[in-house]
C-alpha cells in the first residue's frame, strides 16, 4: 500500500464529505436534517469501503479514479457544468428543508435510498469488470475493449449507473426542486458520452466494432 496514495485518497474523501455536508446543512440552517444525514451515510460509507478495497486489491484503479484532470476541452466544460449543477442541487435541498418547499414524504427518501444502494452495487460491478475506468476521457496504454457483463448490454454502464445515483440523491434528500435541477445531468452526460465515443473510436483499437455490436449507449432499447 502506497502511503502517498492513501493520504491522497483520504484527503479527497474528507474534503468531499465536508463539502457536501456544508452545502446541505448550512442552507438548511440546522443539523437536524434527517434526509441530509441519510444521504451522507449511503454516499460516503460505501465510498470509504470501496476505497479501502481498491487500495488493497487494485491501487492503480484507485489512482485513476482520483485523477480528475481532463485534457479534453469538451470534458472540462462538462465537469464545470456538473459542478454547478451539484452545487445548486445540494444548496436548494438544504433551503427546501429549511423553508419546507415542495418536500417529499419520508417514505420516498427511504425508497430512494434503497435504489441508491442498489445502484452503488452495480457501480462496484462495473469497476470490477473494467479496470481501465478513470474519471477522465482518455485512451490508456494497453487498453482493451470490454464487452462482457454490463458492457454487453450498454456501452456506458458506468454512466447508466451514475444517472440512477444522481437522480436518487435529491429524492433521498426529499427535495422536488433539487430533483428538477439534477435532471440537467441527463443532457450533460449525453454530451460527455458523444465526445468520449469520438475519442475512443479514434484511439482505441476495436472500439468501432464494439459500437456496432452493442447498439445502446446508456439505456437499453432507448439510447
Distance CA 212, CA 206 (A): 10
pLDDT in tens, 159-169: 999 999 999 99
Assign domain 3-213 to a CATH class. Answer: mainly alpha
Closest to 133 (Cα-Cα) out of 153, 156, 117, 160: 156
pLDDT the model gives residue 59: 79
The residue-averaged pLDDT of 182-197 equals: 91
Domains of the chain, residue spans? 3-213
As a whole number, mean pLDDT of residues 39-63 equals 84
How high is the pLDDT of residue 201? 87
Interacting residues of 158 by C-beta distance below 8 A, sequence separation 6+: 123, 126, 130, 133
Amino acid at each position: 500500500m502506497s502511503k502517498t496514495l492513501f493520504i491522497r485518497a483520504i484527503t479527497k474523501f474528507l474534503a468531499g464529505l465536508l463539502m457536501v455536508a456544508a452545502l446541505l446543512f448550512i442552507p438548511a440552517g440546522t443539523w437536524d436534517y434527517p434526509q441530509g444525514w441519510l444521504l451522507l451515510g449511503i454516499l460516503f460509507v460505501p465510498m470509504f469501503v470501496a476505497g479501502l478495497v481498491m487500495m488493497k486489491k487494485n491501487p492503480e484503479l484507485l489512482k485513476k479514479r482520483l485523477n480528475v484532470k481532463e485534457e479534453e476541452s469538451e470534458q472540462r466544460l462538462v465537469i464545470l457544468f456538473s459542478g454547478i449543477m451539484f452545487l445548486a442541487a445540494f444548496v436548494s435541498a438544504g433551503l427546501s428543508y429549511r423553508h419546507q418547499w415542495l418536500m417529499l414524504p419520508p417514505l420516498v427518501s427511504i425508497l430512494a435510498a434503497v435504489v441508491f444502494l442498489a445502484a452503488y452495487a452495480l457501480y462496484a460491478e462495473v469497476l470490477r469488470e473494467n479496470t481501465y475506468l478513470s474519471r477522465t476521457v482518455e485512451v490508456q496504454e494497453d487498453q482493451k475493449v470490454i464487452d462482457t457483463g454490463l458492457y454487453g448490454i450498454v456501452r456506458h454502464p458506468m454512466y447508466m449507473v451514475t444517472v440512477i445515483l444522481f437522480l436518487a440523491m435529491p429524492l433521498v434528500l426529499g427535495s422536488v426542486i433539487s430533483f428538477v435541477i439534477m435532471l440537467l445531468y441527463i443532457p450533460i452526460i449525453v454530451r460527455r458520452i458523444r465526445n468520449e465515443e469520438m475519442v475512443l473510436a479514434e484511439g482505441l483499437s476495436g472500439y468501432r466494432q464494439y459500437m456496432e455490436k452493442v447498439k445502446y449507449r446508456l439505456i437499453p432499447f432507448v439510447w
